[in-house]
Homo-oligomer: A and B are copies of this chain.
Amino acid sequence: MTVAIRPASDTFTPRQQVVLTAALDLLVEAGDGLTMTAVARRASCSKETLYKWFGDRDGLLTATVQWQAAKVRVPAVDRKTLDPVSLKLSIQQFARDLLSTIAGTTSVALNRLAITHATEDNGLGAIVLDNGRFTMGKRLKPVLEAGRDARMLRFDNAETAFRTFFGLVLRDVQIRLLLGDKFTLTAKEIEADAERATEQFFTLYGTNQAPRAR
């Protein structure tokens, strides 16, 4: 499932980044209705340049997705200072970041695009999966395992535990947004959801070493 990322994926020239930004904006606005002409106009460049730089429309889309996906940053957690409270706060912060990322218009547009083209052989779906769902898992797993080593969490399989966490945090939010359901999450709601999901996760996987609440 790992996808070959362009070696120089983050070495776009400033001018190219302007183009990619324009493409991303148009993607959010018009979805897959994005045309090469529109990108060229928005970025004040010629189509010929687009084709020279990115090969074809697919290449431009792929570059855009990679470029944006690489910007997703998930917080790392310091394993040294591990006490029940900081563990829980780390997980809760992770939940908050995950939820606000997924609920953002950029994520929705990017996932829509990738899903639309998921059956083709350009790896858009795989790229989004790798930089989204799977990267999240890789980032949180060390935290979970640290919690387990410290006897604050109990689970057999970190992957399975993460998947449950993923479900508890996102629930139906992502699919509803992807399907065009117009509902927005305020910062306050995101915070409350993150706290709820974290509580539930500790209820399912916590030990008595960990803070519990209901």
Binding site for B on A (CB under 8 A): 1, 30-32, 111-112, 114-116, 118-119, 125-126, 128-129, 133, 163-164, 166-172, 174-176, 178-181, 200, 203-204
- 17 A/B residue pairs, CB under 8 Å, sorted by A: A31-B119, A112-B115, A112-B118, A115-B180, A118-B180, A126-B180, A129-B176, A133-B176, A164-B168, A164-B200, A166-B172, A167-B168, A167-B171, A168-B168, A174-B175, A175-B175, A203-B204
Q: Which of B118, B128, B169, B180 contacts A119 (CB 8 A)?
A: B180
**Which residue from chain B places its CB closest to the CB of A154 in the assembled complex?**
B214
Q: Are B116 and A179 in contact (CB under 8 A)?
A: no
How many Å lie between the Cα of A206 and that of B30 in the bound state? 45
Q: Are B166 and A115 in contact (CB under 8 A)?
A: no
Q: Which of B133, B178, B200 contacts A118 (CB 8 A)?
A: B178
**Closest chain B CB from A181 CB (angstroms):** 6
Q: Which of B116, B133, B169 contacts A175 (CB 8 A)?
A: B133
Chain A residues touching B, majority SS: helix
**Closest chain B CB from A123 CB (angstroms):** 9
Q: Which of B114, B118, B128, B181 contacts A129 (CB 8 A)?
A: B181
How many Å lie between the Cα of A196 and that of B3 in the bound state? 31
How many Å lie between the Cα of A167 and that of B176 in the bound state? 12
Please give, as numbers and ranges, the residues of chain B lying within 8 Å of A30 by CB-CB distance.
119
Please give, as numbers and ranges, the residues of chain B lying within 8 Å of A112 by CB-CB distance.
115-116, 118-119
**Closest chain B CB from A128 CB (angstroms):** 6
Please give, as numbers and ranges, the residues of chain B lying within 8 Å of A171 by CB-CB distance.
163-164, 166-167
How many Å lie between the Cα of A30 and that of B180 in the bound state? 23
**Which residue from chain B places its CB closest to the CB of A102 in the assembled complex?**
B175
**Which residue from chain B places its CB closest to the CB of A31 in the assembled complex?**
B119
How many Å lie between the Cα of A163 and that of B128 in the bound state? 25
How many Å lie between the Cα of A179 and that of B3 in the bound state? 14
Q: Are B114 and A116 in contact (CB under 8 A)?
A: no
